[in-house]
């Protein structure tokens, strides 16, 4: 399970309000079949957006954690309760929201449309390394 994520807190002194955004799990998950042949039924990855896990890269008190894109391997659709990890896709910005990347397979490799305008294509490796 993807849990214990960084919490975004913002203080508004004008009205003495603390705004706390607590994310309890991944958002906008997309399953992508990496089938190189039809007999590889569990060759699936999941791409999702999320706040970073607390033990990963929680920002300092001055910064607010932002949504990033992650890639999970070894997804078994027949075992939805199986615990799997994820790697952050390292293309884009660490301090700005990264959302809604569009995954697709080209020549057996995982790619993303990032962003649609201007049209940029990013290739991604299983460990999260990504490049234009």
Do 52 and 5 form a contact (C-beta atoms < 8 A)?
yes
What is the C-alpha separation between 30 and 27, in angstroms, rounded?
A: 9
Which regions of 1-132 does DSSP assign to beta strands (E)? 8-12, 17-21, 27-33, 44-50, 68-75, 87-88, 102-106, 109-113, 121-124, 130-131
User: Vertex 130, ends 128 and 131: CA angle to 5°?
Assistant: 170
Q: What is the pLDDT along the chain (132 residues), one digit of tens a residue?
A: 466 777 777 889 999 998 887 777 777 888 887 765 555 555 778 888 887 776 655 655 556 667 788 888 777 777 777 777 788 888 877 777 777 888 888 887 888 888 767 888 888 877 777 778
What is the C-alpha separation between 115 and 119, in angstroms, rounded?
A: 6
Long-range own/partner contacts, residues 35-43 (CB < 8 A, 24 or more apart): 36/108, 42/74, 42/75, 42/76, 42/77, 42/78
Do 84 and 40 form a contact (C-beta atoms < 8 A)?
no
Q: What is the pTM of this model?
A: 0.72
């Amino acid at each position: 399970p993807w849990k214990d994520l960084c919490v975004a807190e913002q203080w508004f002194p004008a009205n003495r309000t603390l705004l706390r955004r607590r994310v309890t799990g991944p958002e906008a998950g997309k399953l992508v079949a990496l089938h190189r042949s039809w007999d590889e039924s569990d060759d699936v990855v999941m791409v999702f957006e999320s706040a970073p896990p607390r033990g990963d890269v929680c920002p300092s008190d001055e910064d607010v954690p932002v949504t990033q894109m992650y890639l999970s391997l070894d997804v078994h659709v027949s075992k939805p309760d199986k615990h799997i990890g994820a790697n952050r896709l390292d293309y884009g910005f660490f301090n700005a929201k990264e959302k809604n990347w569009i995954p697709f397979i080209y020549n057996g490799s995982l790619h993303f449309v990032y962003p649609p305008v201007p049209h940029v294509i990013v290739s991604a490796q299983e460990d999260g390394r990504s490049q234009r």
